[in-house]
Structure 1
């Protein structure tokens, strides 16, 4: 397709209308009141595959000739977009997904494909299955569909910005736009489109703290591979930002790239579900969670909620992470005297809102004392200093292992 980037993105947006209507741009009163701002959500979680990834997959696949098979690598959302398009274009596809991908995303990908896709689970991270998918495509003569490092995909993701300009025509430089970043395709596409249209607002790009690949690339002057990757925010957990997206993002001010803690995102997920009835996946909630760190009072803010493919089997883990981050749950290893009545003496130290969620004898450290693992939940973080103060006064030795990662992984 000829023409400039904006022309190609607008053509892609027009073609998309044969498949689904624009996703809504909705003012959220609850978030607006909380932050003293005018907060709008661009609901990409409401596409037919519950994420924006359908846009890029559509734009890349509509340019393929014949019935050549396609291959893709994805932690879930790109996979679902490719599968949805394979079914509608009657084109065979093979999709590689990490073994760690939530089951809900695997099942939905298979359903969206309608028998036209084969799913292969390979490796623990996106980068593992990316290499496998590229090798398979080379051997099979299939077209590889990158989830972000592809010009047609980036143009497809830019259609989000095309819709925004139509939905909020007075979008101006005084506004703030908050976008999540994984591989960088969405932020690169939207930023390029808005810049080409002369409508680029102030932006904040948000990454999970355990997968800050864009920040690392900006610091190094080019894409680098992270040594460690936290995959909890699976839709944005990418160890290396794409080369093509980075070329469009290389001039971003590093101060405008934020990293948010994975466990705090869990609080935002719970709040949006319980208060607003909005189901988002961790990556989809990144932009909303980042509002906690931004000075948005009195401003109009657009947050792109990129996906809603949440596996509800993860809810217990989300609740656990949220409570620990909020200081409402702690794990203590307590030195318990081995005598009759010792447990009763300890229970008497608990406050009215303190609840034992886990109790496990670990070992006897001596004949007279034993180590006990306690998981304690409460309704106010201030209750814990009060409890441990009473424990100190009564001679119960203790150690807080809530945030001691290596030890907590072994016993919690």
Structure 2
């Protein structure tokens, strides 16, 4: 393990020839909210706006040192690793073939092209990362190219460990707690290995999205297992299966130190950081901050570092983020309302709305052969408690309604 720590420090030193350290910034807003000293390790401020540049640099550097004749590198990525590889392909002046899921946000695709320039070509393949990964590996087998894993590679893990090297140099003393987002496990494995090598009392807390909790599943099964279904909203961490190499490192982690958070709540955190702090984070980049509300008792009075892993946010997604945030906070609901087909019925309903209630959506299907028509109505309000009063007024007035806000199937088709 001492060798791992030395290699990580060497990798971090070599990185300084390419890009500066990302800052560790004290956050007064979060510190006051949670009664702790909260610091953010701003990986979203790297040249490619994520920590992935570290693993890509280290793996390519070591591969080229071993085989200078290597000319082509291949990767599969939902975006951040792709940008890191593209950036390094231009730096080392080698060719890169980058496979990305078809569902990758356009912002990440465009930035990858910008970073790689003429040194790369992009292939959009598969709806999910694991399909993309298989296509990239098949290409490598066919062409004899070198595959650069986004996380399941010892050199990549070593490169990601440089996050720990930097933050320990930047803080006056080791933090009490470090919060790490988990996708494929490369960052977590690197930081975990580094602290295991150097010792100390820093506690590591791992957080993954509820719709992609592959670390939790792997520890429960005793080996990496593929999730049956992955929610791709947190695209930077939407990986169906933890890496074999990363699991080998992380298999001794205490399961109680792994937490999962809902995708909708992450949206509220993204908006909070954007509106209050002016910090742009992608969903995976907000994971470590979002989970603070679940560990308030653990971190109170302590020094905490949250790794904000990425800031590649496509602002075309902002309406969706706002929608999911409002629904999570209880500030927006959708109802199917049975409206009597008589004059004045709609006016009667509208008069029930409070001063803070606003109609965000209204679709009325009138069928002349029936006494009632169905209305899909979306309502926004300033206070979640207002919906309790509205429901009581609708019930007392004899209106029949159904709250479909949390009905996943109906929401998918109607909202």
TM (normalized to structure 2)?
0.97
Deviations 1:11-60 (A, max 9, x none): 11110000111111111000000111110000000100000000000001
Other structure's SS at 1:128 match: helix
Deviation at 1:362, TM superposition (A): 4.0
Within-5 A mapping of 1:386-397: 386-397=389-400
Other-structure match for 1:255: 256
Deviation at 1:200, TM superposition (A): 5.2
Gaps spanning 5+ residues in structure 1: where?
Answer: none
Other-structure match for 1:55: 54
Q: Which has the higher helix share?
A: 2
User: For residues 192 and 169 of structure 1, do their structure 2 counterparts lie closer, same or farther at Cα, with a shift above 3 Å needed?
Assistant: farther
Deviation at 1:68, TM superposition (A): 2.2
Compare 192-201 and 269-278 and name the one that shifted more.
192-201
Aligned length: 409
Other-structure match for 2:167: 164
| Equivalent pair of 2:2/2:197 in contact (CA under 8 Å) | no
Deviation at 1:201, TM superposition (A): 1.0
The whole-number CA distance in structure 1 between the counterparts of 2:369 and 2:109 is 49
User: For residues 344 and 24 of structure 1, do their structure 2 counterparts lie closer, same or farther at Cα, with a shift above 3 Å needed?
Assistant: same
Structure 2 residue 69 is matched with structure 1 residue 70: no
| Equivalent pair of 2:232/2:238 in contact (CA under 8 Å) | yes
Deviation at 1:67, TM superposition (A): 3.7
Structure 2 residue 314 is matched with structure 1 residue 315: no
Within-5 A mapping of 1:10-409: 10-64=9-63, 65=67, 66-171=69-174, 175-199=176-200, 201-294=202-295, 295=297, 296-362=299-365, 364=367, 367-409=370-412
Deviation at 1:195, TM superposition (A): 1.3
The whole-number CA distance in structure 1 between the counterparts of 2:2 and 2:205 is 29
Deviations 1:227-279 (A, max 9, x none): 11000000011100001111111011111100000000000000100100000
The whole-number CA distance in structure 2 between the counterparts of 1:143 and 1:363 is 62
Other structure's SS at 1:63 match: helix
The runs of at least 4 consecutive aligned structure 1 residues that moved more than 3 Å come to 362-366
The whole-number CA distance in structure 2 between the counterparts of 1:391 and 1:162 is 59
| Equivalent pair of 2:365/2:375 in contact (CA under 8 Å) | yes
Other structure's SS at 1:134 match: helix
The whole-number CA distance in structure 2 between the counterparts of 1:312 and 1:283 is 15
User: For residues 205 and 132 of structure 1, do their structure 2 counterparts lie closer, same or farther at Cα, with a shift above 3 Å needed?
Assistant: same
Gaps spanning 5+ residues in structure 2: where?
Answer: none
The whole-number CA distance in structure 1 between the counterparts of 2:375 and 2:268 is 29
User: For residues 83 and 147 of structure 1, do their structure 2 counterparts lie closer, same or farther at Cα, with a shift above 3 Å needed?
Assistant: same
| Equivalent pair of 1:273/1:279 in contact (CA under 8 Å) | yes
| Equivalent pair of 2:2/2:198 in contact (CA under 8 Å) | no
Root mean square deviation of aligned Cα: 1.3
